[in-house]
Amino acid sequence: MVELQYEIKNGVFKAHINPDNDLSDISEVCNIVEEHSEVVLIGIDLYKCSYIQSKFLAGLVAVKKLAMVRKINIELLNVCDNIIQVLQSTNLQKLFVIKDDFASYPLDALFERFLDTDKAGTVSEYLAANYDDNIQNKLIELIDGGNPLLVEYAILTMGRAQDYQNLEIYRKALNANEASVKSAAILVLGWIGDTQSKEQLYSYLASKEIGISEAAAASIALLSDDTDSEKLAKYLHDSDIRIRLVAIYALSLINDEKAFEYLSNAMNEEKDEAVRIQLTKKIALFKDERVGRILLGLLDDNSIQLREAAASGLSRRGSGEFTSILVEKIGDNDNWVGFFAAKSLAGIEDENIIKKIESYYDKVEQNVKLAIIEVLGKCKGVDPSFLLSKLDDTNEDIRKEALNSLSLMHGPVALTAAIKLFNKDESWLVRYKAVNIILEQKPVGYDNLLRARLKDETNKYILEHIIGEIGE
């Protein structure tokens, strides 16, 4: 039998499981953790395992129970697809946090992950955070090897690590045949502040290769000075819609007073609907005091999508001086304008305005109703009776949102409602929310209350949630 390998550092216990470890090793995990009161996190590293046996699963459940008793977290690390399938088939996956821990990987194995587009970005960030001469040399070898995918992520990793020594590698990659490599080089030159390459980056704004023009816009914005807004503004009049959109993107990233002036002027001149919608979305990102009035004026535009973009922008800014107008817009013929208008009113404290918001409820479509219920959970002084009345609605989304809003503003009232609903509501979504409220507030005897529900509950997600919190 192989001896269990583990370490304890900064309150983290990490066990490295070998395929030859058996159930007794998992029992040893419990024994070790029980002896160390400083442990606040248990990590079970399965990097070397391509499979696990059923008795090992039983051991994992035992460790999970110990973690619950100790009120500490447990994570399964570096779990392969085969083991994930076993956990899924046994309904155990929900009991554990599953994540990668690249510290267990040999360097060459990490570089192989560059070929997995789902993992490549995360691996790149890890390597950049732990950058040293060894990693740098290996990345240069990958670049010399010429595999486009490996070259792309090698360059991105060096850029994330702020490796200034290899500037010429990035500049050379601007002439690569593959768009992905070229795009990576463009981004990295912006990240490391290579102002000497900025003029060359302008030539890529009109590129038709995927991702190139957007990368160039982002890097130009990072390298920008007082002259770049004016240079980019010229592209706002280009006959090619795609180039106008790239210019809008770049100016929104620069986000200075000049950029705002150019974009707001373009809004008055632009005729294409798709471009005007993007202008609306990007103008909404500026902090200029004139933004609110521009967006408000666009709520009456002929384009439905543009009105919705303007209303969405206003919802993120809050109502401010436009409160009364936005309250009226809740009843707009375009229900998405009403939806975003309602969401913009979070934080209102005026009782009369709150009553006015409530008065629209029976006159609007369901999405607006949901927005009204949501925003009332974020307003002070709301009478809970309005929200309580929605707990009997036939629509499960309405009931769930009403219960959530009650929990935000009226804790004791929400708890009473949750205790009632988690036993009888026909929707598992509502019952799940009710269980969350009970677990958050933890009234006296809450564990027995939830445990009593286990024999009648039929939804596996709720069962897993309760068991995961209080055990069987």
Query: Do 334 and 284 share a structural domain?
Result: no
d(CA 232, CA 217): 9
d(CA 8, CA 204): 51
Query: Do 191 and 115 share a structural domain?
Result: yes
- Asked whether residue 416 is assigned to any structural domain, the reply reads yes
Query: Which pair of structure tokens corresponds to residue 409?
Result: 């503003």
Residue 284: give its domain's CATH number.
Answer: 1.25.10
> Which of 382, 411, 428 is the C-terminal boundary of a domain?
382
Asked if 207 and 216 count as a contact pair (C-beta separation under 8 A), the reply is yes
Tens digit of each residue's pLDDT, the chain (472 residues): 568 889 999 999 999 988 776 666 677 889 899 999 999 999 999 998 888 887 888 888 889 988 988 889 999 999 999 999 999 888 888 889 999 999 989 999 999 999 998 899 999 999 999 999 999 999 999 999 999 999 999 999 999 999 999 999 999 999 999 999 999 999 999 999 999 999 999 999 999 998 999 999 999 999 999 999 999 999 999 999 999 999 999 999 999 999 999 999 999 999 999 999 999 999 999 988 899 889 988 988 889 889 888 888 887 776 567 888 889 999 998 899 899 889 888 888 888 999 999 999 999 999 999 999 999 998 887 889 999 999 999 999 999 999 999 999 888 899 999 999 998 899 999 999 999 999 999 999 998 899 889 888 888 888 888 888 887 6
Asked if 228 and 199 count as a contact pair (C-beta separation under 8 A), the reply is no
Query: Do 82 and 16 share a structural domain?
Result: yes
Query: Do 87 and 118 share a structural domain?
Result: no
- Asked whether residue 333 is assigned to any structural domain, the reply reads yes
- Asked whether residue 426 is assigned to any structural domain, the reply reads yes
292 Cβ neighbours under 8 A, 6+ residues apart: 314, 317, 320, 321, 322
Asked if 78 and 100 count as a contact pair (C-beta separation under 8 A), the reply is yes
d(CA 247, CA 327): 35
Query: Do 271 and 244 share a structural domain?
Result: yes
Query: Do 345 and 276 share a structural domain?
Result: no
d(CA 191, CA 213): 16
Only one residue has tokens 């309250």, namely 327
> Which of 75, 104, 133 is the C-terminal boundary of a domain?
104
Q: What per-residue string of b and e applies to 330-340 under the rule 16 or more CB within 10 Å gives b? A: bbbebbbbbbb
CA neighbor of 223 nearest in space, from 188, 182, 247, 195 = 195
d(CA 346, CA 330): 13
Query: Do 100 and 110 share a structural domain?
Result: no
86 Cβ neighbours under 8 A, 6+ residues apart: 51, 52, 57
d(CA 87, CA 467): 16
Enter the DSSP assignment of 114. Answer: G
Q: Which amino acid appears at position 93 of this protein?
A: Q
- How many degrees, rounded to 5, is the angle at CA 157 between CA 152 and CA 158? 100
Query: Do 110 and 192 share a structural domain?
Result: yes
d(CA 437, CA 410): 11
- Asked whether residue 217 is assigned to any structural domain, the reply reads no
Q: Which amino acid appears at position 461 of this protein?
A: Y
> Which of 236, 261, 288 is the C-terminal boundary of a domain?
288
Entry pTM: 0.73
Query: Do 169 and 139 share a structural domain?
Result: yes
In the chain, the number of structural domains is 5
- Asked whether residue 158 is assigned to any structural domain, the reply reads yes
Residues counted in the chain: 472
- CA separation, residue 455 to residues 355, 463, 466 (Å): 43, 9, 12
Torsional sign, CA 281, 287, 290, 292: positive
Enter the DSSP assignment of 2. Answer: P
- Asked whether residue 218 is assigned to any structural domain, the reply reads no
| Enclosing H/E stretch for 42 | strand 41-45
- Asked whether residue 219 is assigned to any structural domain, the reply reads no
Query: Do 333 and 425 share a structural domain?
Result: no
Residue 11: give its domain's CATH number.
Answer: 3.30.750.24
Range of the domain at 129: 105-210
- Asked whether residue 294 is assigned to any structural domain, the reply reads no
